[in-house]
Amino acid sequence: DNVNRHLSMAREWHPHDYVPWDEGRNFAELGGVDYDPEQSKLSEVAKAAMITNLLTEDNLPSYHREIAENFSQDGAWGTWVGRWTAEENRHGIVMRDYLVVTRGVDPVALEQARMIHMTNGFASPAGSQTGLLHSVAYVTFQELATRVSHRNTGKVCDDPIADRMLQRIAADENLHMMFYRNISAAALDIAPDQT
CA dist 154 and 100 (Å) reads 17
Domains identified in the chain and CATH numbers: 2-6+39-190 (1.10.620.20)
User: What is the identity of the amino acid at 51?
Assistant: I
What separation, in Å, do the N-terminal and C-terminal C-alpha atoms of the chain show? 20
pLDDT in tens, 87-135: 999 999 999 999 999 999 999 999 999 888 888 777 666 655 567 888 8
Return the pLDDT at 53.
95
CA dist 109 and 131 (Å) reads 36
